[in-house]
Amino acid sequence: MLMTFGDYYSDYLKPFAISDEYSLSQNDKKIIKIEKNNPLCGDKVTLYFLQDKQGKVTEISNHVEGCRLIQASANILCHTIMHKTVEEIKVITQVLEQKIFSDQKITISKNMQPWQYLWLSNEFPARLKCIWLPWELLYDYLS
């Protein structure tokens, strides 16, 4: 049976969409700020983060003016890349891109990490831009 968007949102994304764990709570001048909007819909995501000398992300938060999917994706991104190096982040982002923009049916498993929940969005092509926006923003910056 096909998963509905409502089920996908409720079962996988909602906890991240409504979480404020990674919402902007600091105003550190050292923090890197990057932002991107989707010109088709006007939604906008801003990421604030710090890296140590090795390039590992040591602090991260986000501010989203947009839908629940962008918010969930941005929070999952923050959750996922904390303490990761630039190379590790790039690998994760490349895998995510490959998964969400493919027609391949994703098999749901119990051991999925939150960022892997996003793979399932490939069943909702009209919303892929929402999921991809925060990741595209970070990847472009790191590249």
What the block records as the tokens of 48 is: 């604030």
Three-state DSSP at 65 gives: strand
Residue type at 29 in one-letter notation: K
User: Which residues sit opposite 37 in a β-bridge?
Assistant: 44
Q: From the list 56, 68, 79, 90, which residue makes contact with other proteins (rule: CB under 8 A)?
A: 68
Between residues 5 and 139, which has the closer beta carbon with respect to other proteins?
A: 5
Between residues 28 and 126, which has the closer beta carbon with respect to other proteins?
A: 126
Three-state DSSP at 20 gives: coil
134 near other proteins (CB under 8 A): no
Q: Which stretch binds other proteins (CB under 8 A): 23-31, 34-42, 84-92, 107-115?
A: 34-42
139 near other proteins (CB under 8 A): no
d(C-alpha 108, C-alpha 105), whole Å: 9
Three-state DSSP at 53 gives: coil
Q: Give contact residues for other proteins (rule: CB under 8 A).
A: 4-6, 9-10, 40-44, 65-69, 124, 126-127, 130
